[in-house]
Amino acid sequence: MGDIPDVGEMEGDVEMGTTDDDAELDEMKKRLKEIEEEAATLREMQAKVEKEMGAVQGQFFIPFLDFVQKAFNI
């Protein structure tokens, strides 16, 4: 039964790859943190723009609403 590896051989194979796997996992964690930070920055920017757009829309919407009410005698 030489086709089936011994338990010792299988464990050795797993341990040999751990350094590379750990480095790759650390790199993935680092990149995930960067992506999360970028996402947080984008959410802040979006909230700021939406707030500013809301203020600008409010400035134009209220006079427009007054115009429409006067034009149609509402």
R_g of the chain, CA atoms, integer Å: 31
Q: Where are the domains of the chain?
A: 7-71
Cα 19 to Cα 13: distance, rounded to the nearest angstrom: 12
pTM of the model: 0.49
| The predicted structure's pLDDT at residue 40 | 93
Q: Has residue 47 got a pLDDT over 80?
A: yes
pLDDT level of residue 42 (50, 70, 90 thresholds): very high
pLDDT level of residue 60 (50, 70, 90 thresholds): low
Between 48 and 2, the more confident residue is: 48
pLDDT (mean) for 60-65 = 66
Tokens of 60: 């134009």
